[in-house]
Homo-oligomer: A and B are copies of this chain.
Amino acid sequence: MLEDKKPQLTPVSQLGEFGLIKHLTENFPLENSSSELGVGDDAAVINPEGKKVVVTTDILAEGVHFNLGYAPLKHLGYKAVVVNLSDLAAMNAVPSQILVSLAASNRFPVEAFEELYAGIALACQHYHVDLIGGDTTSSNAGLVMSITAIGLQDEQKIVKRSGAKPNDLLVVTGDLGGAYMGLQILEREHAVYLANPDMQPEMEGYDYILQRQLKPEARTDIRTTLEEMDIIPTSMIDISDGLASEILHLSDQSKVGFHLYEEKIPMDTQMINTAEELNFNPVIAALNGGEDYELLFTISPDSYDKIKNHPDFTIIGHAVEANQGNYMVARGSNELIKLTAQGWDAFLNKGE
């Protein structure tokens, strides 16, 4: 007798909408004292505990933000949470709750939702946030995920995009461009697979940049690191669309310009090697690639000594008067290159 190697999959209609939500959310305990009422009523209730409430939302669409051909559902669930927590980190807020909404075609069985929610659960545990609500529906095509994340913070500790002053130092966490080069490898190997499903994908030696793309982390650790150094950024943003685009956002909201030094941009060796292998300029990946989810912020020049040797941070430039514009000072030549928002745009990059 032949064994059935394909596991039995459960259509969502077997559970129904309420049954599915109940099934997916029953293993999410409420850990934070601010989570007073979670899933199961008309709305959730949060106790702000004397703080301000910081709230952000992101929507991810299949074929635009992710390709299920190479992004496993569990990673997708994790990343969808991270993207939102990164926005809260960019406000210097402490993430506390998320709400998850899904629209999925009926090609997705219950087991697919379970995978997705396993990733969401992992992110909730890792970042100590509670799932307190959401909605699930069928859709005519593909998978769309919308997550709203809530954080709390004292008013005086919230950092906006708008507080940078001329001469402030421009600082970035981690390294840039990795997520973008990871995506190039995934797309190359996926194309090879589509052409010949018997070919083994060549993923060896790309582990760091693949992880940057598939399982990025939100820099929620930076808040406490800066607090310990007694630094409050004057402005902050997360790098979701690429360094250049984010610098222009800080410039726009703070009414200053920026000078960025090409030679200072932090880049990982694996990212640089992969860029060279693919005949791609690694600086372009860092400037315009996006999805690194590092933090970009400005600090008063007085804090230079505190931050200059810290391994988490790189000073990459400084703010200037608004009328001086936004430029990158080229390595070697010192040529000034105007910064433009060539960053990732869900509409412009569609189908590319």
Stretch from A95-103, A165-173, A198-206 that touches the partner: A95-103
**Identity of the chain B residue whose Cβ is nearest the Cβ of A105 in the assembled complex:** B141
A253 in complex: contacting residue of B18, B36, B41, CB < 8 Å: B41
A12 near B: Cβ within 8 Å?
Answer: yes
**Identity of the chain B residue whose Cβ is nearest the Cβ of A48 in the assembled complex:** B48
Stretch from A130-138, A174-182, A207-215, A264-272 that touches the partner: A130-138
A60 near B: Cβ within 8 Å?
Answer: yes
Q: How far is the CB of A218 from chain B (nearest CB, A)?
A: 11
**Identity of the chain B residue whose Cβ is nearest the Cβ of A65 in the assembled complex:** B137
- Determine whether the beta carbon of A43 is less than 8 Å from that of B99: no
- Determine whether the beta carbon of A141 is less than 8 Å from that of B140: yes
Contact (A57, B99) CB under 8 Å given A43-B91, A46-B52, A64-B139: yes
Stretch from A25-33, A142-150, A331-339 that touches the partner: A142-150
- Determine whether the beta carbon of B57 is less than 8 Å from that of A133: yes
Cβ of A53: which chain B residues have Cβ within 8 Å of it?
45-48, 53, 150
Cβ of A41: which chain B residues have Cβ within 8 Å of it?
91, 160-162, 253
Q: A42-B237, A59-B103, A138-B346 are in contact. List 18 more A-B contacts (CB 8 A).
A: A15-B347, A16-B348, A17-B345, A17-B347, A37-B160, A42-B88, A42-B161, A43-B55, A43-B93, A45-B158, A46-B54, A55-B97, A55-B133, A61-B103, A61-B137, A61-B138, A65-B137, A140-B141
Chain A contacts to B: CB under 8 angstroms: 12-13, 15-18, 20, 36-37, 40-48, 52-65, 87-88, 90-91, 93, 97, 99, 101-103, 106, 132-142, 144, 146, 148-151, 155, 158, 160-162, 236-238, 253, 341, 345-348, 350
